[in-house]
Amino acid sequence: MMQLLLLLSVIYFAFFYKPGCKHCSEVDKMLKKFEKKYPFIRVRRYNVKEREGIEMLYALCEKYKVHPRMCVVPIIFVGYNYIPYFQISEKWIKHYIEKYADRKVEPPWKQAAPFLDTARLKIRAVFEKIKIINIISAGLIDGINPCAFATLIFLLSFLTYRQTEEKKIIFIALSFIIGIFTIYFLIGIGFFETVLLLNYQIIKKYIYPITIIILIIFAGFSFYDAYISRKNISQQILKLPGKLHRIMHMLIKSKISNISLGFITGILIGGLEFGCTGQIYLPTIIYMTAVPSLKFKAYSYLVLYNVCFITPLIAIACLTKIYSIEKISKFLRKNNFWIKLALGFIFIFLAISLKIWAI
């Protein structure tokens, strides 16, 4: 009886997935099994990491009046109904095959056509929740991190002690900074892509709340560091362990001799230093993963963050032509309280931004 009914009409499914999503892969296998069993089923697959996919998903969610919390992958649209991620099963797919077997219904993507413009506006509105000023301020504050400054000042002091030419000092320092930029950007890409592989429901349910809690904890540590900086700066919590400091100093002493080695050392130091400066970087990347399909724009934000991160370091390197390293170092120690206070507020600011985005 079922086979005879299937001869009467074609049943169209719109399936939305994300590469790397385990649940999506399981649903895809399930649909392929039904396609093989029932030749009159037509499944159109949409990758939400592509512009067409995310626009169609938003359009269908608008058309079918799907709650925003349900409008996540994997999700299936068929006839006038949808199957959310937590309900997808062979039982429900078969239920809708039987329901629409004797009814001629337009494919979901054709039903969604009038809603595409609205969908594009919604996507733009979502991405606009990411404020450029948040990215810039996070990058600058992270760049003012005492961990990053301390290493650069040691490098400049060492080069001066070796009686390196002033012009060469600047070029070695800049190549060192570019090395740090390179490793940071590569770490950012790796973390960014890892976050995008996660199911959005997992990100919203687990990653966002955990990140917000961590940010609040780091804010508390920063405020404590600001308080203790006026008594005993060595008792601060958010700093590199002494052992790592010694390793970095050894690297500088053994490898810094020319511009190319400055770049290589910057990469090595940047990797070691990440444990200290990554406290702002990783939460900011999570904040930037709002719309996977607009990856290019998110990558441009990643570049912007890292440019802002190295800007204070470039400023310090250039200031050595005007002021002595001792004066700069003294100024930074004197203003450690304000730097730590600013770090605390940026942690809170990022936590609030993530909370707003997660709503």
Q: 145-154 pLDDT, tens per residue?
A: 666 666 677 6
* pLDDT for 50: 82
Contact predicate 18/73, CB 8 Å: yes
Domain shared by 74 and 116, yes or no: yes
Domain shared by 141 and 224, yes or no: yes
Q: 259-313 pLDDT, tens per residue?
A: 666 787 778 777 766 655 565 666 666 666 655 556 667 778 888 888 888 888 8
* pLDDT for 160: 64
pLDDT band at 248 (very low <50, low <70, confident <90, very high): low
Report d(CA 180, CA 23) in Å as an integer: 37
* pLDDT for 99: 92
Please identify, among 89, 123, 157, the residue that sits at the C-terminal boundary of a domain.
123
Tokens 């730097």 sit on residue: 339
Contact predicate 350/281, CB 8 Å: no
Domain shared by 277 and 193, yes or no: yes
Domain shared by 247 and 280, yes or no: yes
* pLDDT for 290: 56
Report d(CA 115, CA 328) in Å as an integer: 58
Tokens 């004197």 sit on residue: 334
Domain shared by 183 and 280, yes or no: yes
Domain shared by 6 and 62, yes or no: yes
Domain shared by 11 and 82, yes or no: yes
H or E stretch including 343? helix 336-358
Domain shared by 140 and 112, yes or no: no
CATH of the domain at 95: 3.40.30.10
Residues 6+ apart with CB under 8 A from 77: 13, 14, 60, 64, 83, 108
Question: Among residues of the chain, what percentage have pLDDT more than 90?
Answer: 20
Strand partners, 17: 47
Contact predicate 50/19, CB 8 Å: no
* pLDDT for 1: 47
Q: How many other C-beta atoms are found inside a 10 Å radius of the C-beta of residue 66?
A: 18
Please identify, among 123, 144, 172, the residue that sits at the C-terminal boundary of a domain.
123
Whole-number Cα distances in Å, 184 to 203, 306, 338: 23, 7, 25
Please identify, among 82, 107, 123, the residue that sits at the C-terminal boundary of a domain.
123
**What's the domain range around 104?**
2-123
**Strand ranges across the sheet with 11-17:** 41-47, 11-17, 75-78, 81-83
Burial of 105 (0-12, 13-18, 19+ CB in 10 A): middle
* pLDDT for 96: 94
> Mean pLDDT across the chain, nearest whole number?
78
Q: 182-208 pLDDT, tens per residue?
A: 888 888 888 777 776 665 556 667 777
Domain shared by 255 and 109, yes or no: no
CA dihedral (57, 59, 60, 62) positive or negative = positive
Domain shared by 101 and 198, yes or no: no
Question: What does R_g of the chain's alpha carbons equal in angstroms?
Answer: 27
Q: List phi, psi (to 5°) of 144.
A: -85, 0
Residues 6+ apart with CB under 8 A from 129: 290, 356, 357
pLDDT band at 41 (very low <50, low <70, confident <90, very high): very high
Domain shared by 284 and 146, yes or no: yes
* pLDDT for 88: 94
**Total count of domains within the chain:** 2
Identify the residue with better confidence: 219 or 159.
Answer: 219
Contact predicate 176/265, CB 8 Å: yes
Residue 55 has pLDDT above 80, yes or no: yes
User: Which stretches within 198-321 are classed as H helix?
Assistant: 200-202, 208-228, 242-255, 259-288, 295-319
Residue 3 has pLDDT above 60, yes or no: no
Report d(CA 207, CA 199) in Å as an integer: 10
Domain shared by 85 and 141, yes or no: no
Q: 67-118 pLDDT, tens per residue?
A: 877 888 899 999 999 999 889 999 999 999 999 988 889 999 999 999 999 8
Give the mean model confidence (pLDDT) for residues 211-221: 83
